[in-house]
A = this chain, B = another copy of it.
Amino acid sequence: MTLGSKIWVNGAVVVKEEAKISATDRGFTLGDGLFETMLWTGKQIRFLDDHLARLTKSAMALGLTMPFEGEAIKAGLEALAQDAQGQTAALRLTLTRGTGPRGLAIADTTTPLLLATIAPFEAPASLATLKTVAIKRNAGAPSARYKTLSYLDNVMALQEARALGGNEAIMLGTTGFVACASSANIVIAYQGQNLTPALDDGALPGIVRGRLLAAGVVKEANVDAQMMAHCTNCALTNALMSVRSVGAIDGRILADQGDFISRLKATL
């Protein structure tokens, strides 16, 4: 079975082509939903409890109901992962508000949709080259506070970074401080401290970011352009890559940072 040919939809594993997403599902029509991207290590789902806790908390904030308990979701994800045959893979959980009448107003009767997909994944071997882009994160808004399906600004931010010759974006928040990359958080070493941009500046509350903060090896801060220009080390973090070394920030080459990356990874 090709990895990704099956998906899990509201409790059942089905062949992908048979899974029908309604054209009136609000996840499709309005980006009205959430997602989690998780690493299948070949043996287990890394940080699964953290992912489910974030999804549950975000769902409550948006008034979305989780239609399954954690154990049922875990069983579904693991059923999909069987086709990965010991290889690493990316698991994705998507929760939407389900189908509803036309318009933005949320009906009392919507039934949420929860589905899971899997795709091959290998951590990129290359260094990240960051370019600061013009598209900003909407600091304080639901689309920045939660990992929502309304992800287009990040899609276009990555496009902008690629057009500038990079492979990831530095997105500022609408506060003017650095928020995060298009699909990762940012950690810098600056004046002897490891810092990561603040949630209030539009940073996504990433799982690895949360672990590094909880371990006390990274502090939250308002990170500005000047700090990015003078930091001694820089890494990207997300659930799939764990910690990825940054090779250049807006054209400034960073020196070898093996120790910096190793120390961050060691705390996970």
Q: Which of A's residues lie within 8 Å of B, judged by CB?
A: 7, 9, 16-17, 19-33, 35, 62-63, 90, 92, 94, 101-106, 115, 117, 119, 121, 134-143, 148-156, 158-159, 162, 174, 182-183
- B residues within 8 A CB of A23? 7, 9, 16, 19, 21, 94, 115, 117
| Cβ contact within 8 Å between B29 and A149 | yes
| Cβ contact within 8 Å between B153 and A138 | yes
Enumerate 16 A-B pairs (CB-CB under 8 Å) in ascending A order.
Answer: A23-B94, A26-B155, A29-B94, A29-B149, A32-B151, A32-B152, A33-B152, A92-B102, A102-B121, A136-B140, A138-B141, A138-B143, A142-B152, A142-B153, A150-B152, A150-B153
- B residues within 8 A CB of A140? 134-136
Q: How far is the CA of A158 from the CA of B119 in the complex (A)?
A: 35
Q: How far is the CA of A104 from the CA of B94 in the complex (A)?
A: 15
Closest to A94 in B: B29
Q: How far is the CA of A33 from the CA of B182 in the complex (A)?
A: 17
| Cβ contact within 8 Å between A149 and B152 | yes
Most chain-B CB neighbours within 10 Å: which of A30, A31, A63, A153?
A31
- B residues within 8 A CB of A92? 29, 102
Q: How far is the CA of A152 from the CA of B138 in the complex (A)?
A: 12
CB proximity of A252 to chain B, nearest CB, Å: 24
Q: How far is the CA of A121 from the CA of B102 in the complex (A)?
A: 9
Q: Give the residue of B90, B153, B156 whose beta carbon is less than 8 angstroms from that of A102.
A: B90
| Cβ contact within 8 Å between A155 and B32 | yes
With contacts A136-B141, A151-B30 known, is A158 near B25, CB below 8 A? no
| Cβ contact within 8 Å between B25 and A138 | no
- B residues within 8 A CB of A20? 17, 19-21
Closest to A116 in B: B23
Q: How far is the CA of A135 from the CA of B31 in the complex (A)?
A: 16
With contacts A21-B23, A150-B152 known, is A63 near B159, CB below 8 A? yes
Closest to A7 in B: B23
- B residues within 8 A CB of A9? 23
Q: How far is the CA of A27 from the CA of B117 in the complex (A)?
A: 15
Q: How far is the CA of A90 from the CA of B103 in the complex (A)?
A: 10
CB proximity of A176 to chain B, nearest CB, Å: 10
- B residues within 8 A CB of A135? 140-142
- B residues within 8 A CB of A7? 23
Q: How far is the CA of A103 from the CA of B134 in the complex (A)?
A: 21
With contacts A31-B150, A141-B135, A150-B31 known, is A155 near B104, CB below 8 A? yes
